[in-house]
Amino acid sequence: MNNGDIQQTSLYRFKGQDLFNQIRKLLTDVQLTPYEEQHRIFFIERNIILPVKALMLLLLAYYLFFSRWFDETAAYRHAIVLGLQAFYVFYCILNVASGCILIGGKNLPFKWVRLAALVSSSTDTCLLCASTIITGGIDSPLFWVLLGLIVRNSVSFPSISYQFLLNLSILFSYITAALTECLISVWEIIDSGEPVIFTVRPHTFENISGILTMQVFLIILLIICCYGIQVILVKQRIAEEEAREFAVRKEQLKITGRLAAEIAHQLKNPLGIINNAAFNLQRNVKEGKAT
């Protein structure tokens, strides 16, 4: 191997190490103070999510208990609706409890406030993913609501552990719901008694694989982008704070330097007078001895 190949190999190795260090820094956990985290949770979860969720609870109550849109659904999907009705009651209880904690959170420990926000987000994920089964599966418009839920988690929970835990649970819950809806479609084909070759069902395992793969890729891409943007913004804010602190310290050093120069100037004249007086006294003493 000649010198050119060695230098090129060293260059590639250096670039690889630099890329690895950049990725490692990007994946470093975002450290915010408890006050900053609490402010985020209050602003997003209490001031924005709670009013929206109150309206959503009323709409869900109407569609699940008073609307008759699911009366003509197949037995399997009707069982899902009954399960959603039971889960809705549990969902309301948890959200009322977490809402009370968020509203009175200033008088409670921060870990309780964060736990309430985590429970609220987790139950939202379960309800939305289960609702996709009866609203079209991979064609459900609730898929776009799940993307909004990912953005919400990324803003409310800056910690990489909580954020990735919640967002990955959305991913796996949606995949489970899509496959469950597909399985129900297959069961409906079997129960219909018609030959499968003459039965047109859009949601079979063969037909949903392409769309589901694209949706999964979109969810993963959004999770990574949300966290990356958050890390960049937080580190930019930290850099700006450090720059301001450096400027303040630099100005303080300038003021201290000017003050020291002024003190030295003030001390210079008395010292000169003392030196002159000592010199004159010494000279007079010598002249007196000489006489």
288, HSE (Cβ side, Cα atoms, 13 Å): 6
Q: Are the beta carbons of 118 and 166 closer than 8 angstroms?
A: yes
Unique residue bearing structure tokens 């100005």: 251
Q: Is residue 252 part of a domain?
A: no
Q: Which two tokens stand for residue 95?
A: 């959200």
What domain range is 57 assigned to?
Answer: 32-245
Q: Which two tokens stand for residue 196?
A: 């499968």
* C-alpha span between 47 and 25 (Å, rounded): 32
**For 38-80, how does the pLDDT look when each residue is reduced to its tens digit (9 = 90+)?**
888 888 888 888 888 889 888 888 888 887 766 555 666 778 8
Q: How much is the average pLDDT of 266-282?
A: 62
Supply the pLDDT for residue 167: 92
Supply the pLDDT for residue 200: 46
**For 185-204, how does the pLDDT look when each residue is reduced to its tens digit (9 = 90+)?**
777 766 665 555 444 455 55
Q: Are the beta carbons of 170 and 146 closer than 8 angstroms?
A: yes
Confidence class of residue 270 from pLDDT cuts 50, 70 and 90? low
Q: Is residue 280 part of a domain?
A: no
Angle at 53 between CA 51 and CA 58, to 5 degrees: 105
Unique residue bearing structure tokens 């002249």: 287
Query: Is the model's pLDDT at 171 over the cut of 90?
Result: yes
Total of domains in the chain:
1
Q: Is residue 83 part of a domain?
A: yes
Confidence class of residue 30 from pLDDT cuts 50, 70 and 90? low
Q: Is residue 173 part of a domain?
A: yes
10, HSE (Cβ side, Cα atoms, 13 Å): 7
Q: State the Rg of the chain over Cα.
A: 35
Q: Is residue 263 part of a domain?
A: no
Alpha helices in the chain (DSSP H): 3-26, 34-41, 50-61, 75-103, 110-134, 142-156, 160-192, 205-290
Q: Is residue 3 part of a domain?
A: no
Would you give the DSSP letter of residue 63?
A: I
Q: Are the beta carbons of 201 and 185 closer than 8 angstroms?
A: yes
* C-alpha span between 71 and 46 (Å, rounded): 36
Q: Is residue 255 part of a domain?
A: no
Q: Are the beta carbons of 171 and 162 closer than 8 angstroms?
A: no
**Nearest CA to 149 among 175, 174, 121?**
121
Q: Is residue 100 part of a domain?
A: yes
Report the mean per-residue pLDDT for the chain: 77
Q: How much is the average pLDDT of 256-268?
A: 66
